[in-house]
């Protein structure tokens, strides 16, 4: 079981503290959502938890089945989907899924064809991603996170650009997350975390 612990974590840009003294424990098998106004620090906190941005103070620990993981290996256990993370647009969907699989395998039994199916994008497998609509691209980003074999799934603004059908698809994928997966979301849209039992306002750490 994956557990992430944040101990007195803080982040400062130039002279401004974005948040300080964040003490949290995230346990697999449930979900957590950070809410807060624009610019309050949700994306910054998510990137910090994902290990993709350095913190200014504090400590972060990832442990799997009671054993602390080497920070150099955290990325193997995390899938992050966010508006600021771009897809490789020159690749076709098929090429993108194959490439992704070389460094982050999909869940057991999921071939690239099945992933394309579950993305509802079988018809676009041979199309370059740059020709996808913004909603199609968003489904691909989310799908790479949902369908990868990662215990930690981090989603920033998950339903951005999704229409109603896309939002229903997102909720269906959330329901299908495994019992040992940990979901962490950054959001300002109540519909996208209506299932989540742990909602925290980042303003409490100002």
Ligand X SMILES: Nc1ncnc2c1ncn2[C@@H]1O[C@H](COP(=O)(O)OP(=O)(O)OP(=O)(O)O)[C@@H](O)[C@H]1O
Which residues contact ligand X by CB under 6 A?
Answer: 13, 18, 36, 38-44, 186, 188
**Radius of gyration of the chain from its Cα atoms, rounded to whole angstroms:** 17
154, 145 contact by CB (below 8 A) = yes
Residue closer to ligand X by CB (options 17, 75) is: 17
Residue closer to ligand X by CB (options 44, 79) is: 44
- Report the nearest approach of ligand X to the CB of residue 203 (Å): 10
- Report the nearest approach of ligand X to the CB of residue 68 (Å): 27
At residue 170, the 3 state secondary structure works out as helix
- Report the nearest approach of ligand X to the CB of residue 43 (Å): 3
At residue 202, the 3 state secondary structure works out as helix
Tokens of 23: 């003490």
Residue closer to ligand X by CB (options 43, 148) is: 43
- Report the nearest approach of ligand X to the CB of residue 188 (Å): 6
Residue 66 Cα to chain centre, angstroms: 23
């Amino acid at each position: 079981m994956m557990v992430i612990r944040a101990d007195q974590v803080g982040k400062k840009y130039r002279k401004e503290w974005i948040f300080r003294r964040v003490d949290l424990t995230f346990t697999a098998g449930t979900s957590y959502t950070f809410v807060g106004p624009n610019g309050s620090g949700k994306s910054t906190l998510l990137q910090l938890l994902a290990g993709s941005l350095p913190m200014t103070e504090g400590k972060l620990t990832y442990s799997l089945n009671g054993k602390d993981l080497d920070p150099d290996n955290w990325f193997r256990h995390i899938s992050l989907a966010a508006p600021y993370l771009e897809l490789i647009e020159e690749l076709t969907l098929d090429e993108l899924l194959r490439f992704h699989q070389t460094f982050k395998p999909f869940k057991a039994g999921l071939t690239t064809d099945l992933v394309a199916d579950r993305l509802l994008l079988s018809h676009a497998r041979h199309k370059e991603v740059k020709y996808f609509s913004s909603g199609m691209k968003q489904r691909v980003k989310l799908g790479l996170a949902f369908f990868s074999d990662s215990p930690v799934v981090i989603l920033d603004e998950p339903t951005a650009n999704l229409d109603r059908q896309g939002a229903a698809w997102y909720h269906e994928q959330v329901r299908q997350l495994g019992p040992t997966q940990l979901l962490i979301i950054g959001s300002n849209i109540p519909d996208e975390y209506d299932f989540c039992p742990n909602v925290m306002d980042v303003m409490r750490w100002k």
